[in-house]
Amino acid sequence: MTRVLRITGVTLFAVILWQALVSATGLPRFILPAPTLVFDTLWKSRALIAQHALVTGTEVLLGLLIGAALGFGTALLLAASHLARAVLRPMLVFSQAVPVFALAPILTLWLGYGLWSKIAMALLIIYFPVTSAFFDALMRTPTGWLELAKVMGSTPLRMLWRIQVPAAMPGFASGLRLAAVYAPIGAIIGEWVGASQGLGYLMLLANGRAKTDLMFAALIALAVLTLVLHAAVDRLCRRWDR
């Protein structure tokens, strides 16, 4: 409850500053619309914004689920195999040298203008953080636990599943929390490159028609979507940590 009140207070303070800036400077509405105008547009265009938010939310959620599953599996493979670490880790590091934003046009060319190119962008952005966080946690399993398991005759696979994975779940949860924030970035970038639906597409459309109030309204909807997703993932991770 305290956290909700804190977020509400900060949001109200930001809105007041925003309104004060517009009133004091007299900026035209196509440069910086007043918050009253933005919230009025948000209400009047709620059906349109909800329609595009549903598309973006679907892209983000599918990208998050697929990226988390791939990151989980890759981290397990890296922890279980020295060969995989020798081959895959340099490839993972090298993949981060290529800006994922530059891959958006290529993915759109290969996968089309539908959902899958946006899902792939979200997946690419979250894959490395999830894999890295979970793998590091797997490798930080207390040595004493592993040595005791060896003395008791446990196989490496059983040690991985029964000891390392449970011990590393907080690390995986940390990776998921980061992924919940990063995934919308990938989806929006994909929509900017080429789409006919989604909040990113709506923002571009509003910008091209000088409807800055609608663009800000779509941006607020995106921020709310990201906050809700992060809160849901955080709550799920807290249940794991119990």
Please check whether residue 153 is in contact with residue 210, taking contact to mean a CB–CB distance below 8 angstroms.
Answer: no
70 and 189: one domain?
yes
- Please check whether residues 7 and 81 belong to one and the same domain: no
Within 10 angstroms of residue 206's Cβ, the number of other Cβ atoms is: 20
Residues 171 and 103 in one domain: yes
Domain that holds residue 3: 1-32
Q: Kindly state whether residues 58 and 122 are assigned to the same domain.
A: yes
* Those residues with Cβ within 8 angstroms of residue 159's Cβ, 6 or more apart along the chain or in another chain: 146, 149, 150
Q: Are 4 and 64 in the same domain?
A: no
- Predicted confidence (pLDDT) at residue 1 exceeds the cutoff of 70: no
> Domain check: are 6 and 68 in the same one?
no
Whether the pLDDT of residue 188 is over 80: the answer is yes
Evaluate if residue 26 carries a pLDDT over 90. Answer: no
* Closest listed residue to residue 133, CA positions, set 90, 101, 179: 179
Instruction: Supply the CATH number for residue 76's domain.
Output: 1.10.3720.10
pLDDT single digits (tens) 89-112: 888 888 778 887 888 889 888 998
The model's confidence at residue 242, banded by pLDDT at 50, 70 and 90, is low
pLDDT at 102: 85
Q: Are residues 14 and 51 in the same domain?
A: no
Domain count, the chain: 2
| Mean pLDDT calculated for residue range 223-230 | 94
- The residue-averaged pLDDT of 118-132 equals 93
Same domain, 5 and 44: no
Please write the tens of the pLDDT for every residue from 198-226. 999 999 999 989 899 999 999 999 999 99
If asked whether residues 79 and 17 sit together in one domain, one would say: no
pLDDT per residue as tens digits for the range 30-88: 888 999 999 999 999 999 999 999 999 999 999 999 999 999 999 999 999 889 888 88
16 and 101 both lie in a single domain: no
User: Mind listing the pLDDT tens digit for each residue in 80-94?
Assistant: 988 988 888 888 888
Instruction: Identify whether residues 71 and 25 lie together within a single domain.
Output: no
